[in-house]
């Protein structure tokens, strides 16, 4: 890991520790105040606990032009970014995508190309509906590895994170606490429920929190829709496409709408926010990832809408192509943050439990 | 010359904002003159943290109750009776209605506090500290249509008989003049003007550090005092604490404080002790060390602790100087090594039974047989490595200010000035004759800011 980023984060954390005015904003500060000297593991944990809400920055009496020059959201964002790169497996791919929106776009286009090629060469094998374009077996052959590979990769990364932050044995209570925080985005509430300072300097707003929740719950609904489809296919011998009054659609359509609205709002907020309070080199990559999520959701909805028309094969290719890219890129894009954040929240539950 | 504004508020901190918001809500057209650039707006309020508040029963983040008499007694203890009781009681009594008012105007408080500060009954802590309070008020002011001029230096208020006729200021490289109907002065003390501080204190003041904003230079205060506006307070009185000697000259704020004195011995540059380091619990005796250090040669002090004490106090912003022997520590700190060793050995020899040592309460673990005792937490300094911090006097704000009445109105010997009010540190000396009570500056600023804003608006309407 880069020592200069760590040194800078350590310098700032030590000043924060002598001040403590920000205690109530989020989980970072109680965790920070518990230390006296900051190991690399401490800094990694603090960095991944930080939700970049920026409340502490706008409240800080020591930001530039003050000579202490504090910018904790940025310092932690840099360490966070760096930690993901160093934990990622296989390692070299990480750097390319984390920081690069163009590479995400390129990978997405490649995803489409693979799908189009698959449709032309593998074809339907006589199926109906979507499977008239690409056979079910072909889809499974492409997507099963594309789903399992990120899981393996993330598992290895999280194991490294857990070692790096001296994580302990996880209990149900830790998990319940962490998921509780994630479920309502407690750390984006600003400590007072008014939200964070993301969009317009020191103005508090729940916009980012709500947008992020829309994306998260939208994604989970879509994931549940896909799972429901898989179960219907294999357990009940009911292949796609599904009607509106079916689990896949009842979960997937609202999920897709939530994701579209959420990603549009996240992109809008990202354009309004001050780039100097995040890892500025990662801005493009993060934006690329938000747009990829948007594309996944929008193409899914369009596929449903246009499923009965001649545009169906085209929409199917675009949707499956973007989903394929999304899965494959998961360990190397902002998507990874969800896993690290959960790990950090679980680790923080352990810290709190140790205090009692 | 324009009369566009009903009310001019001079200053951009808590008191100024409370005055401006209150006046604007009563329909007045208000302009704020803030000397600092936007990034440094808010005066000393930027560095504050809490608000001392009277309350009968739980109120907001405050638990139990804290009634007028107890609050007033706390004030009497620190000021040694040097206060104006009527104004003090007004501030105390009104503080109770201020807390909900603050919340209505965007201020958010910490739900509860961990760590060493146990003030959950008497002091309400701002979530994020004073700068977040200031931000909230500026947002409110903007919504109310209050105009804010940053880097606007008010140079002169023209006193004509019993009223302020006009106001001169510099802004964007030009000298300008306006004639508002009423003026509220809330521009703090004069501590950032080292020359003035030196005239009041003598040459030692050159070595003082200013904990707060570099923009409180007392320009308007001096201008009004020159025109015989009535003053209050002693120019040598100020809120002075001992801070880390490596702190910036200005604006170091809270982080430069050092909480380690009770577990230490403190020596001057000749390596001699000069005061009982264990007199009382920190932070109760915290404020006296500024003056103690100011009276030492070169206005410096040196805190010496050993490895036993390193984790007993709040983390410090600058790491301590560290050495394996006392002689080495003395070399590193510029102290006479033989003398320091001698002072420590004399002290160590006077330490007795330390088994009752308790870091957070008066433990009675004291020295015997030395002229200058340490009356609590007296443990030998003998476990290497040894650590040291330097101390300097840090001034928060000065007490010489404008004398006001219960309506925050200023006066000359001939009577009230019909359109001039003062709030905040500019008039705090009316209540704080000496000493300091944590969170009371914000109480004075909020209470008298709102009074001044109300009175000015009533006059202007």
More confident position, A14 or A317? A14
Cβ neighbours of A18 in B, within 8 Å: 254-255, 314-317
Distances (CA, A) of B77 to B293, B390, B434, B435, B437: 22, 29, 10, 9, 9
Amino acid B74: pLDDT: 92
Q: Which residues pair with A187 in a beta bridge?
A: none
**B15-24, B105-114, B370-379, B421-430: least confident range:** B105-114
Residue A98 and residue A91 in contact, taking contact as beta carbons nearer than 8 Å: no
The DSSP annotation for B361-423 comes to S-----B-S-SS---SS-----SSSEEEEEEEEEEEEE--EE---TT-EEEETTEEEEEEEE-
Query: What whole-number distance in Å separates Cα of residue B82 and Cα of residue B100?
Result: 30
Sign of the dihedral defined by the CA atoms of residues A56, A58, A63, A64, in that order: positive
**A43-52, A304-313, B166-175, B336-345: least confident range:** A304-313
- Put simply, the answer to whether A18 touches B254 (Cβ < 8 Å) is yes
**Angle at Cα A231 formed by Cα A228 and Cα A236, nearest 5°?**
120
Q: Where are the domains of chain A?
A: 3-84, 87-355
* Nearest in space to B317 (alpha carbons), one of B260, B386, B239: B260
Every domain range in chain B assigned CATH 3.90.700.10: 240-394
**What integer is the mean pLDDT of B266-276?**
97
- Put simply, the answer to whether B251 touches A56 (Cβ < 8 Å) is no
Of B49, B135, B319, the CB nearest to A21: B49
CA B328 to chain centre: 36
Radius of gyration of chain A (CA): 22
Pairing of strands B238-244, B386-398: antiparallel
- Put simply, the answer to whether B317 touches A15 (Cβ < 8 Å) is yes
Identify whether A76 is preceded by a cis peptide bond (ω within 30 of 0).
no
The CATH T-level fold of domain B7-234+399-460 is FAD/NAD(P)-binding domain (3.50.50)
- Put simply, the answer to whether B131 touches A59 (Cβ < 8 Å) is yes
Mean pLDDT estimate for chain A = 91
To which residue do tokens 């292949």 refer? A239
Residue B397 and residue B212 in contact, taking contact as beta carbons nearer than 8 Å: yes
What's the gap in Å between the CA of B318 and the closest CA on chain A?
Answer: 8
Query: What whole-number distance in Å separates Cα of residue B39 and Cα of residue A166?
Result: 39
Amino acid B46: pLDDT: 96
Position B168 pLDDT exceeds 90: yes
Q: Is B151 left (phi over 0), alpha (psi -120 to 50) or beta?
A: left
**What integer is the mean pLDDT of A105-121?**
78
What's the gap in Å between the CA of B177 and the closest CA on chain A?
Answer: 30
Residue B48 and residue B14 in contact, taking contact as beta carbons nearer than 8 Å: yes
3-class secondary structure, B235: coil
- Put simply, the answer to whether A36 touches B311 (Cβ < 8 Å) is yes
* Nearest in space to A238 (alpha carbons), one of A144, A129, A126, A119: A129
Residue B401 and residue B221 in contact, taking contact as beta carbons nearer than 8 Å: yes
Interface of A with B in 263-322 (CB under 8 A): none
Query: What whole-number distance in Å separates Cα of residue A337 and Cα of residue A151?
Result: 14
**What integer is the mean pLDDT of A328-337?**
89
ipTM passes above 0.85: yes
What's the gap in Å between the CA of B304 and the closest CA on chain A?
Answer: 19
Amino acid B115: pLDDT: 47
To which residue do tokens 């780039």 refer? A275
Of A14, A20, A64, the CB nearest to B115: A20
Query: What whole-number distance in Å separates Cα of residue B299 and Cα of residue B197?
Result: 14
- Put simply, the answer to whether A203 touches B110 (Cβ < 8 Å) is no
**Angle at Cα B277 formed by Cα B271 and Cα B282, nearest 5°?**
140
Position B297 pLDDT exceeds 50: yes
**Angle at Cα A177 formed by Cα A289 and Cα A94, nearest 5°?**
25
> Of how many residues is chain A composed?
356
Summarize pLDDT for A292-311 with one digit per residue, the tens.
Answer: 999 999 999 999 999 889 99
Task: Calculate the dihedral angle through the C-alpha atoms of A95, A76, A59, B64, rounding to the nearest 10 degrees.
Answer: 140
3-class secondary structure, A162: helix
Query: What whole-number distance in Å separates Cα of residue A282 and Cα of residue A259?
Result: 22
Every domain range in chain B assigned CATH 3.50.50.60: 7-234+399-460
pLDDT grade for B116, boundaries at 50, 70 and 90: very low
Residue A266 backbone phi and psi in degrees, to 5: -60, -40
* Nearest in space to A350 (alpha carbons), one of A183, A229, A209, A170: A170
**Residues of chain B contacting A, Cβ within 8 Å:** 39-40, 46-47, 49, 108, 110-111, 113-115, 126-132, 135-136, 139, 248, 251, 253-255, 311, 314-317, 319
Given CB atoms, is A355 within the 8 Å cutoff of chain B?
Answer: no
Between chain A and chain B, the number of residue pairs with CB atoms below 8 A apart is 86
The DSSP annotation for A314-327 comes to HHHHHHHHHHHHHH
Residue B26 and residue B203 in contact, taking contact as beta carbons nearer than 8 Å: no
Q: Which residues pair with B322 in a beta bridge?
A: B387
For residue B250, give the DSSP letter: B
- Put simply, the answer to whether B317 touches A14 (Cβ < 8 Å) is yes
What's the gap in Å between the CA of B374 and the closest CA on chain A?
Answer: 27
Distances (CA, A) of B232 to A222, B14, B404, B451: 70, 21, 9, 19
Mean pLDDT estimate for chain B = 94
First to last CA, chain A: 33
**What integer is the mean pLDDT of A65-71?**
97
* Nearest in space to B246 (alpha carbons), one of B320, B296, B176, B172: B320
Cβ neighbours of B114 in A, within 8 Å: 23, 30, 33
Query: What whole-number distance in Å separates Cα of residue A187 and Cα of residue A195?
Result: 9
Cβ neighbours of B255 in A, within 8 Å: 15, 18-19, 62, 68
Query: What whole-number distance in Å separates Cα of residue B7 and Cα of residue B20?
Result: 8
Q: How many CB atoms lie within 10 A of CB B219?
A: 18
Position B32 pLDDT exceeds 70: yes
To which residue do tokens 């880097």 refer? B151
More confident position, A101 or A61? A61
Instruction: Report the half-sphere exposure of B241 (CA within 13 A, side-chain side).
Output: 25
| Residue of A7, A21, A352 for testing the chain B interface, max B β-carbons within 10 Å | A21
| Residue of B47, B103, B128 for testing the chain A interface, max A β-carbons within 10 Å | B128
Tokens of B327: 């002689």
Tokens of A261: 């609205």
pTM as predicted: 0.94
Percent of chain A with pLDDT over 90: 68
Cβ neighbours of A36 in B, within 8 Å: 311, 315
| Residue of A24, A25, A34, A58 for testing the chain B interface, max B β-carbons within 10 Å | A24
Given CB atoms, is A4 within the 8 Å cutoff of chain B?
Answer: no
The DSSP annotation for A245-311 comes to SSHHHHHHHHHHHHHHHHHHHHHHHHHHS-GGGS-GGGHHHHHHHHHHHHHHHHHHHHHHHTTTSTT
Summarize pLDDT for B219-259 with one digit per residue, the tens.
Answer: 999 999 999 999 998 888 788 889 999 999 999 999 999 98
Interface of A with B in 194-213 (CB under 8 A): 194, 202-203
CA B342 to chain centre: 37
Given CB atoms, is A189 within the 8 Å cutoff of chain B?
Answer: no
3-class secondary structure, B301: strand
Of B114, B129, B135, the CB nearest to A21: B129
**What integer is the mean pLDDT of B15-34?**
98
**What integer is the mean pLDDT of B66-80?**
93
Given CB atoms, is A65 within the 8 Å cutoff of chain B?
Answer: yes
Amino acid B52: pLDDT: 96
Tokens of B32: 């704020």
Tokens of A221: 């609904």
Cβ neighbours of A12 in B, within 8 Å: none
Cβ neighbours of B40 in A, within 8 Å: 65
Query: What whole-number distance in Å separates Cα of residue A141 and Cα of residue A320?
Result: 13
pLDDT grade for B283, boundaries at 50, 70 and 90: low
- Put simply, the answer to whether A55 touches B128 (Cβ < 8 Å) is yes
Cβ neighbours of A62 in B, within 8 Å: 253, 255
CA B456 to chain centre: 26
Query: What whole-number distance in Å separates Cα of residue B410 and Cα of residue B390?
Result: 42
Cβ neighbours of A192 in B, within 8 Å: 108, 127
Task: Calculate the dihedral angle through the C-alpha atoms of A262, A275, B41, A7, rounding to the nearest 10 degrees.
Answer: 120
Of B113, B139, B317, the CB nearest to A23: B113
Residues 6+ apart with CB under 8 A from A310: none
- Put simply, the answer to whether A14 touches B40 (Cβ < 8 Å) is no
Radius of gyration of chain B (CA): 23
**A81-95, A272-286, B352-366, B387-401: least confident range:** A81-95
Position A281 pLDDT exceeds 90: no
Residue B214 and residue B410 in contact, taking contact as beta carbons nearer than 8 Å: no
Amino acid A87: pLDDT: 92
What's the 3-state SS for A107-144?
HHHHHHHHHHHHHHHCCCCCCCHHHHCCCHHHHHHHHH
Percent of chain B with pLDDT over 90: 85
Position A40 pLDDT exceeds 60: yes
Query: What whole-number distance in Å separates Cα of residue B266 and Cα of residue B303?
Result: 4
Amino acid B118: pLDDT: 60
Q: Is B444 left (phi over 0), alpha (psi -120 to 50) or beta?
A: alpha
The CATH T-level fold of domain B240-394 is Flavocytochrome C3; Chain A, domain 1 (3.90.700)
More confident position, A92 or B356? B356
pLDDT grade for B431, boundaries at 50, 70 and 90: very high
Instruction: Report the half-sphere exposure of B227 (CA within 13 A, side-chain side).
Output: 18
Cβ neighbours of B110 in A, within 8 Å: 23-24, 191
What's the gap in Å between the CA of A61 and the closest CA on chain B?
Answer: 6
pLDDT grade for B282, boundaries at 50, 70 and 90: low
* Nearest in space to B241 (alpha carbons), one of B254, B228, B223, B222: B254
What's the gap in Å between the CA of A163 and the closest CA on chain B?
Answer: 27
């Amino acid at each position: 890991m880069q020592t200069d980023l760590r040194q800078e984060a350590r310098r700032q954390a030590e000043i924060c520790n002598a001040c403590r005015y920000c205690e109530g904003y989020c989980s970072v500060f109680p965790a920070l105040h518990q230390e006296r000297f900051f190991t690399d593991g401490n800094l990694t944990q603090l960095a991944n606990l930080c939700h970049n809400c920026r409340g502490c920055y706008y409240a800080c009496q020591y930001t530039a032009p003050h000579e202490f020059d504090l910018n904790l959201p940025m310092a932690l964002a840099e360490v966070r970014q760096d930690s993901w790169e160093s934990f990622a497996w296989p390692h070299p791919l990480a750097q390319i995508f984390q920081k690069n929106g163009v590479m995400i776009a390129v990978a997405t286009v490649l995803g489409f190309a693979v799908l189009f090629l698959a449709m032309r060469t593998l074809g339907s094998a006589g199926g109906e509906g979507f499977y008239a374009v690409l056979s079910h077996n072909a889809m499974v052959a492409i997507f099963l590895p594309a789903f399992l590979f990120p899981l393996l990769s993330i598992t290895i990364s999280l194991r490294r994170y857990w070692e790096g932050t001296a994580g302990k044995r996880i209990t149900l209570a830790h998990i319940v606490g962490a998921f509780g925080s994630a479920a309502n985005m407690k750390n984006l509430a600003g400590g007072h429920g008014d939200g964070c300072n993301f969009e317009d300097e020191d103005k508090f707003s729940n916009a980012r929190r709500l947008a992020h929740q829309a994306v998260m719950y939208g994604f989970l609904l879509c994931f549940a829709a896909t799972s429901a489809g898989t179960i219907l296919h294999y357990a009940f011998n009911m292949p796609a496409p599904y009607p509106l009054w079916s689990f896949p659609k009842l979960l997937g359509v609202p999920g897709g709408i939530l994701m579209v609205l959420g990603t549009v709002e996240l992109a809008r907020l990202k354009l309004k926010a001050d780039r100097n309070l995040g890892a500025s080199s990662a801005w493009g990559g993060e934006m690329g990832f938000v747009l990829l999520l948007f594309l996944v959701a929008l193409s899914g909805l369009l596929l449903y809408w246009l499923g009965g028309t001649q545009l169906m094969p085209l929409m199917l290719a675009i949707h499956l192509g973007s989903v394929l890219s999304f899965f494959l890129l998961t360990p190397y894009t902002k998507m990874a943050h969800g896993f690290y954040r959960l790990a950090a929240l679980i680790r923080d539950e352990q810290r709190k439990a140790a205090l009692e | 010359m324009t009369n566009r504004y009903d009310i001019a508020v001079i200053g951009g901190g808590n008191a100024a904002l409370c005055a401006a918001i209150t006046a604007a809500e009563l329909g007045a057209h208000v302009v704020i003159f803030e000397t600092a650039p936007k990034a440094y707006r808010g005066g000393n309020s930027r560095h504050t943290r809490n608000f001392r508040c009277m309350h009968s029963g739980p109120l907001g983040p405050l638990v139990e109750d804290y009634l007028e008499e107890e609050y007033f007694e706390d004030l009497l203890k620190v000021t040694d009776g040097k206060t104006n009781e009527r104004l003090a009681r007004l501030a105390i009594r009104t503080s109770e209605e201020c807390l909900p008012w603050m919340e209505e105007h965007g201020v958010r408080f910490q739900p509860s506090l961990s760590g060493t500060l146990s003030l959950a009954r008497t002091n309400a802590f701002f979530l994020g500290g004073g700068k977040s309070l200031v931000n909230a008020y500026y947002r409110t002011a903007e919504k109310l249509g209050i105009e804010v001029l940053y880097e606007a230096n008010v140079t002169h208020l023209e006193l004509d008989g019993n009223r302020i006729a006009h106001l001169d200021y510099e802004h964007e490289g030009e000298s300008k003049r306006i004639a508002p109907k009423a003026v509220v002065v809330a521009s703090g003390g004069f501590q950032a003007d080292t020359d003035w501080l030196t005239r009041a204190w003598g040459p030692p003041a050159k070595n003082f550090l200013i904990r707060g904003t570099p923009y409180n230079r007392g320009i308007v205060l001096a201008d009004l005092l020159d025109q015989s506006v009535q003053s209050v307070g002693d120019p040598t009185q100020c809120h002075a604490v001992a801070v880390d000697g490596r702190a910036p000259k200005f604006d170091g704020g809270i982080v430069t404080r050092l909480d380690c004195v009770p577990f230490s011995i403190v020596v001057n540059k000749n390596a001699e002790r000069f005061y009982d380091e264990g007199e009382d619990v920190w932070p109760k005796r915290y404020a006296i060390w500024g003056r103690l250090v100011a009276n030492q040669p070169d206005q410096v002090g040196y805190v010496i602790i050993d490895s036993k004490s390193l984790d007993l106090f709040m983390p410090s912003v600058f790491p301590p100087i560290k050495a394996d022997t006392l002689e080495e520590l003395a070399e590193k700190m510029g102290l006479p090594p033989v003398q320091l060793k001698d002072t420590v050995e004399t002290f160590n020899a006077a330490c007795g039974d330390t088994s009752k040592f308790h870091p957070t309460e008066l433990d009675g673990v004291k020295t015997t047989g030395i002229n200058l005792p340490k009356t609590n937490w007296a443990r030998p300094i003998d476990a290497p490595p040894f650590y040291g911090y330097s101390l300097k006097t840090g001034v928060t704000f000065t007490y010489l200010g404008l004398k006001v009445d219960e309506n925050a109105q200023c006066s000359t010997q001939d009577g009230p000035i019909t359109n001039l009010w003062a709030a905040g540190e500019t008039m705090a000396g009316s209540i704080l004759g000496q000493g300091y009570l944590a969170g009371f500056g914000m109480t004075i600023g909020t209470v008298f800011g709102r009074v001044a804003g109300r009175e000015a608006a009533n006059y202007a309407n």
